[in-house]
Structure 1
Amino acid sequence: MRSSSVAAVASTAVLMTLAGASRGQSTGGFSLDRFEPAPAGDAFFSVPSPAAPGHLAPRAYLGLDFAHRPIHSSGDNPVDLVSSQAFLRLDASLALWDRLLLSIDAPLAVAQGGDDPGIPGVVFTELTAPELGDLRFGARFRVFGEDTEPFQLGLGGYLFAPTGSPAQYTGDPEARGSVQANLGGRIDSAGSTLGFLWSASGGVELGGGSNRPQLFTFGGAAGLLIADDLLQLGAEAYGGAPLGEELLLSSTPVQRDGASVNAELLFGAKLRVLDGLTFGAAVGPGLTSAIGTPPVRAVGMIGWTPLPKPARERAQSATAVAGDKDDDGINDDIDACPDVKGDPSPDRAKDGCPPADRDGDTVLDIDDACPSTPGVRSADATENGCPVDSDDDGFHDGIDACPNVRGTASDDPKKVGCPGDADGDGILDASDACPKAKGPANRDPKQNGCPDDPDGDGIRGAADACPNERGPSDSDPRQNGCPRFVRVNTEEITTSKPVRFVVYGKTRAQTVDPISDEILYEVRDAIQQNPDIELVEVQGHTDDNGSESYNLALSQQRADAVLSWLVAAGVPREKLVAKGYGFEQPLGDNRVKTGRQKNRRVQFVIIKRKGKP
């Protein structure tokens, strides 16, 4: 049969139904709307989930679904026999024991209409509104899986009371019911505010009278949760496949039409605010041309439909019930230090206690300035947990070979902290003008123990870092005998004095001390007077006092402050880069005061010259 003939037969059949209904002669007609909303509280618009979250937890919404041309014909003279149908729905659900969900759907056709095909001798009956639809009662039981887990299984069903009008296509002549199996779940990204939802369902729908065949129903949906469930975006497909072959449109005269698969697609979004106030909208096409499947369907809703708490919140709630006085995530019944926030530990005697005391001196590592060396408590944070330095020479008694006599550093552990002859030239360091360079005795105290002086600046031999350039003496051996404050080497711009910072309050925000301006001006000049220097890394370094993250941030602040100073003084920004290394690159022993002082520094490393990689 040609498509135009088929359309004509379908049009005539529907028309006879409508006309016959007006004369009280027809028992034809059925519930035309193929959109069955998911129970209130479910994530998606049409595809139900297996969840039943909460106990005595009510959820409800007011919704509107609009179908455009749910019965339409094609051919030479197309007619929209049902051009539109809109249902206002009041849906509610109640969750019990985190297992059972009871629901109700009350539909009301608030607008519907169709076109008169204009067939002579047949009176066209206009569709009217408002008209009740079939009340739906539902129950669902969660069989497997917990809420917010990736996989759950639920079983449920609906009972439809015949409260609608078959002649007006808002209900079925008899009661009908359905049973379903529902799958679904939720996946939350670790450390992220994103989540993923999915649902799938399948079942059979039976009863409703002889006007319609039984159905196999199906559906699938997937959605993305954004900003901790604030916004949900998703897509869902649903429909039904008839288990019979025909629909009874009219019994006087008998008119039937072929039943075929209904299938629709929806794209929707939901916005949840105030922990449950939900606004939703969806729109999508019909995927088949079966009776009841519109070319376009639109859905909107507003209601109170909060989702279950995310897994991390549920865990926190469970912890609160079990008792966690110090709020460290470890229940009081297993917390070895229930009144002090601590860390997990495989040792039950330390589980939930503050960070370890590695050196066993009863000063916790978090407060210990010498965390790997036993010491004593001190009001000075820089000395707390460090051994006593009886002679105040910078070497605590734990490593000082001469704890009662001020001394100097030595590579020989037996000489650390002891006075002596570091260069082995027979002249004690106390009177040796060049204690690190061998030289002969001299009546001149300034030359005593010093080797020859090629540049005549009074600093002799290996002690002169710039043997061919006159310069003043300096406590830093790398600068001793070098001109001014700055020296340009192949790989670094070295300074004879450290850059100092002003510390404001407890926040420890770093700013360059004006006392260092003279040094930094010379660094600026060195960069400007050496045009082959293309890129200098301003490095910040610290001692190991404090945590790794704290020192890394502090060193970066210092490097950034010096970079800003140099840029303000005229150094092109593209020639500088700042980087903090924390305590990763120590120059001295962090166990002693002098070593920690050496480690608190700013360096200027040349990382790129013209013509060189």
Structure 2
Amino acid sequence: MRLSLGTALLLATLLLPSPVAAQSSTAIALDQLDPSPAGDPFSGVPSPFVDGHLVPRGHASISYADAPLALAQGERQREVVGSQAILHLGASLSLWDRLLVAAALPLAVAQTGDGAAVPGEPAAPGEPAPGAPDSPAVGDLRLGVRIRALGEENGPVQLGASFGVHLPTGETDAYMGEGAVRVTPQLLVGGRVERRLVWSVAAGATFRSSGNPSTVIYGGGAALLLWDERLQVGPEIYAATPIQGGSLGLSDRTRVEHSRATRAEVLLEARVRPLPGTPLGSLMVGAAGGPGLGEGLGTPAFRVVGMLAWAPPAGRENAAAMADTDGDGLLDAEEACPYAAGPRSADSKRNGCPAEDRDEDGVTDPDDACPEKPGEAGAAGETSARRGCPLDTDADGLQDALDFCPKDRGPTDGKDTKPGCPAPPPPPPVTDADGDGLLDPDDACPREKGPASEDAGARGCPTRVRVQGEEVVLLEPIGWKGVQALQPAIDKRSMPVLEELAAVIQDHPEWARIEVQAHTDSTGDPKFNEMVSAARAEAVRKWLVEKGIAPERLVAKGYGASKPLADNTKAEGREKNRRVQFLVLERK
């Protein structure tokens, strides 16, 4: 701010007592940045927001103002206060989603200036110039209360009111206190628009008991919310206009008359939450800067601000999303056991739960010899070497659930017999096990009926079906009519191969469960391919049931393009991949 001795600037208060008004202040709180409570989106423009109940917030900001008070006489200029660096400490507490109480205290950590003496006025011997800043110094303590009268939290329009009182705790000889109480009522309007924009407008007045001129105060701000509300960027402007004129006491012998002049400041601010999704997700850092406008008291050439705050995200839902009730380092929203501390787990059902049990077999991982394979009932009572592992009673390396002979040791591959069963004795030298008229030694498929053939590899085998271990292979593909993909109809030309398949299944009553598999090539959407394959598998299953196969023996499963047999980039490869297969899952 610059004062011309002929045409004065805005001065909101007087520095020296008047003989007429003994209660008039002899000092002024020069800094015009009165930071908004912690959690507000703007530094100098308060908002009507009150988010949560019993939610504490706090902030610390450092403000540097350049040349907030200077005198000019012709070409000569004197900086009464050349710079101010002020630390603002504040805290607030929200109550019932409607009420906010707050407190703030400014501390001058560094000030420079020439003092209030005019050119040619001598200072006392050994004393600084009258009114020269002396830092560090404490400012006036501010206490405030706010109420949101209309609108809901996070709503686009909210209306509220606030009342603040500054107590005379500041040092009056360091431009940090007025030595008297001043009160500030304000009307507040603001809102949040679709998590993209936040805005605030405030208007009110500051009334002083010091005899300094009272002022009308007003301002507004708007900011974009980016990066899922982690980043906020936008401008704000706040200003004050004195209600009446007055004079400024610069020394014991010098006062300067001033007219009613408005002072204003513009700040461009950015704030960011650097650690979202963690217990420190409420931490916020910010920086702002901008010029002073007008010729009012305390208007700096420019101001820069740095801020560090602890402010939970706005809104009850966001605050709840940042909670960690059990203190295990995992947010309640992402863990399965928010009230019991536990480690992080890839399994969403066990994330944050104590004593992780990934296979959910009742044996916790530290005691589970097979932590990724669920054990059967009673497995926890086995020796520690097998605790939590699937039961293998005969210790043949095949768990009981897959072992057709759980009490008799046998090979696990099931190549010559059922998996886990001892090898059977050799069959009689002359038999016809499948009753197709061909003796087993001459029958390439002794367990499936088939016609005689000159081809030794196909003699006695079904002409369109082969049983290879646990897989039933179709030698002819199943065709489909050109109808809806999700309601497929089997082509009549495929009936012979399906009739032969049904006969083979009937000849193997030991096949307790058979999986009907359908596969597609990779053309098209994977999810759609999976649905098409599932529909085709179900269509084949229904056809077999209609042919007399017990429905509990058949399970339909669509795999889409997840298990290709050939290269999907070639036409012949895609044709091979479009297939129906059968797999024996369980034997009696």
The Cα shift of 1:280 comes to 1.4
The 3 A distance-change label for structure 1 pair 550 and 303 is farther
Q: Which residue number in structure 1 is paired with residue 95 of structure 2?
A: 96
Q: Which residue number in structure 1 is paired with residue 188 of structure 2?
A: 182
Q: Deviations over 1:481-531 (max 9, x none)?
A: xxxxxxxxxxxxxxxxxxxxxxxxx9x9978xxxxxxxxxxxxxxxxxxxx
Residue 154 of structure 1 pairs with residue 160 of structure 2: yes
Q: Distance in 2 between matches of 1:134 and 1:541?
A: 68
The Cα shift of 1:118 comes to 6.7
The secondary structure found in structure 1 opposite 2:4 is helix
The secondary structure found in structure 1 opposite 2:92 is strand
Q: Which residue number in structure 2 is paired with residue 262 of structure 1?
A: 263
Q: Distance in 1 between matches of 2:202 and 2:532?
A: 52
Kept in 2: contact 1:202–1:219 (CA 8 A): yes
Residue 106 of structure 1 pairs with residue 105 of structure 2: yes
Kept in 2: contact 1:172–1:208 (CA 8 A): no
The secondary structure found in structure 1 opposite 2:39 is coil
1:35 aligned to 33, 36, 42, which one?
Answer: 33
Counterparts in 2 of 1:31-110, with a 5 A limit?
31-74=29-72, 75-110=74-109
Q: Distance in 2 between matches of 1:543 and 1:269?
A: 43
Kept in 2: contact 1:69–1:83 (CA 8 A): yes
The secondary structure found in structure 2 opposite 1:287 is strand
The Cα shift of 1:554 comes to 6.8
Q: Which residue number in structure 1 is paired with residue 244 of structure 2?
A: 244
Q: Distance in 2 between matches of 1:36 and 1:227?
A: 29
Kept in 2: contact 1:67–1:84 (CA 8 A): yes
Q: Distance in 2 between matches of 1:243 and 1:549?
A: 81
The 3 A distance-change label for structure 1 pair 283 and 316 is closer
Q: Which residue number in structure 2 is paired with residue 231 of structure 1?
A: 231
Q: Deviations over 1:232-284 (max 9, x none)?
A: 11211001111112244257555432231111000111121321111111111
Letter in 1 for 2:223: G
The Cα shift of 1:417 comes to 8.2
Q: Which residue number in structure 1 is paired with residue 314 of structure 2?
A: 308
The Cα shift of 1:217 comes to 0.8
Counterparts in 2 of 1:279-318, with a 5 A limit?
279-309=285-315
The 3 A distance-change label for structure 1 pair 554 and 118 is farther
Q: Distance in 2 between matches of 1:285 and 1:181?
A: 26
Kept in 1: contact 2:478–2:579 (CA 8 A): no
The Cα shift of 1:79 comes to 1.9
Q: Deviations over 1:358-392 (max 9, x none)?
A: xxxxxxxxxxxxxxxxxxxxxxxxxxxxxxxxxx9
The 3 A distance-change label for structure 1 pair 40 and 554 is same
The 3 A distance-change label for structure 1 pair 265 and 543 is closer
Q: Distance in 2 between matches of 1:71 and 1:5?
A: 8
Counterparts in 2 of 1:312-327, with a 5 A limit?
none
The Cα shift of 1:166 comes to 3.4
Q: Which residue number in structure 2 is paired with residue 137 of structure 1?
A: 143
Q: Distance in 2 between matches of 1:557 and 1:264?
A: 67
Q: Distance in 2 between matches of 1:309 and 1:89?
A: 25
The Cα shift of 1:546 comes to 4.4
The secondary structure found in structure 2 opposite 1:167 is helix
Q: Distance in 1 between matches of 2:525 and 2:102?
A: 65
Kept in 2: contact 1:148–1:311 (CA 8 A): no
The 3 A distance-change label for structure 1 pair 27 and 55 is closer
Letter in 2 for 1:264: E
Q: Distance in 2 between matches of 1:129 and 1:34?
A: 18
Kept in 2: contact 1:30–1:170 (CA 8 A): yes
The secondary structure found in structure 2 opposite 1:51 is coil
The Cα shift of 1:285 comes to 0.4
The 3 A distance-change label for structure 1 pair 235 and 176 is same
The 3 A distance-change label for structure 1 pair 231 and 509 is farther
The 3 A distance-change label for structure 1 pair 253 and 295 is closer
Q: CA RMSD in A?
A: 5.0
Counterparts in 2 of 1:421-440, with a 5 A limit?
none
Q: Deviations over 1:557-589 (max 9, x none)?
A: 99xx755x79xxxxxxxxxxxxx9xxxxxxxxx
The 3 A distance-change label for structure 1 pair 228 and 210 is same
The secondary structure found in structure 2 opposite 1:119 is coil
Letter in 2 for 1:301: M
Q: Distance in 2 between matches of 1:118 and 1:557?
A: 91
Letter in 1 for 2:53: H
Letter in 1 for 2:29: S
Letter in 1 for 2:492: T
Q: Aligned residues, how many?
A: 359
The 3 A distance-change label for structure 1 pair 548 and 71 is farther
Q: Which residue number in structure 2 is paired with residue 172 of structure 1?
A: 178
Q: Distance in 1 between matches of 2:533 and 2:27?
A: 73
The Cα shift of 1:115 comes to 2.4
Q: Deviations over 1:181-201 (max 9, x none)?
A: 111111235xxxxx2111111
Which consecutive unaligned segments of at least 5 residues does structure 2 have? 19-23, 124-128, 324-332, 337-476, 482-489, 497-516, 536-558, 581-588
Q: Distance in 2 between matches of 1:7 and 1:169?
A: 21
Q: Which residue number in structure 2 is paired with residue 452 of structure 1?
A: none
The 3 A distance-change label for structure 1 pair 549 and 77 is farther
Q: Distance in 2 between matches of 1:198 and 1:131?
A: 34
Kept in 2: contact 1:71–1:293 (CA 8 A): yes
Q: Which residue number in structure 1 is paired with residue 492 of structure 2?
A: 408
The 3 A distance-change label for structure 1 pair 557 and 287 is farther
Kept in 1: contact 2:66–2:303 (CA 8 A): yes
Q: Which residue number in structure 2 is paired with residue 476 of structure 1?
A: none
Q: Distance in 2 between matches of 1:43 and 1:120?
A: 47
Kept in 1: contact 2:15–2:28 (CA 8 A): no
Q: Distance in 2 between matches of 1:543 and 1:55?
A: 46
Letter in 1 for 2:68: P
Kept in 1: contact 2:107–2:137 (CA 8 A): yes
Q: Which residue number in structure 2 is paired with residue 399 of structure 1?
A: none
Which consecutive unaligned segments of at least 5 residues does structure 1 have? 21-25, 190-194, 318-323, 328-391, 397-405, 410-415, 419-505, 512-538, 567-579, 581-595, 599-613
The Cα shift of 1:393 comes to 8.6
Letter in 2 for 1:122: P
Q: Distance in 2 between matches of 1:206 and 1:264?
A: 21
Kept in 2: contact 1:210–1:248 (CA 8 A): no
Q: Deviations over 1:105-164 (max 9, x none)?
A: 111112112126673343222210112211100000011111112111111110111112
Counterparts in 2 of 1:430-509, with a 5 A limit?
none
The 3 A distance-change label for structure 1 pair 301 and 544 is closer
Q: Distance in 1 between matches of 2:534 and 2:169?
A: 70
Identity of aligned residues (%): 34
Q: Distance in 2 between matches of 1:93 and 1:408?
A: 78
Q: Distance in 2 between matches of 1:171 and 1:549?
A: 80
Kept in 1: contact 2:215–2:241 (CA 8 A): yes
The Cα shift of 1:9 comes to 7.6
Counterparts in 2 of 1:513-592, with a 5 A limit?
540=524, 546-547=530-531, 562=568
Q: Distance in 1 between matches of 2:283 and 2:317?
A: 21
Letter in 2 for 1:408: K
Q: Distance in 2 between matches of 1:231 and 1:297?
A: 22
Letter in 2 for 1:237: I
The 3 A distance-change label for structure 1 pair 542 and 113 is closer
Q: Distance in 1 between matches of 2:322 and 2:108?
A: 46
The 3 A distance-change label for structure 1 pair 268 and 544 is closer
The secondary structure found in structure 2 opposite 1:73 is strand
Q: Which residue number in structure 2 is paired with residue 278 of structure 1?
A: 284
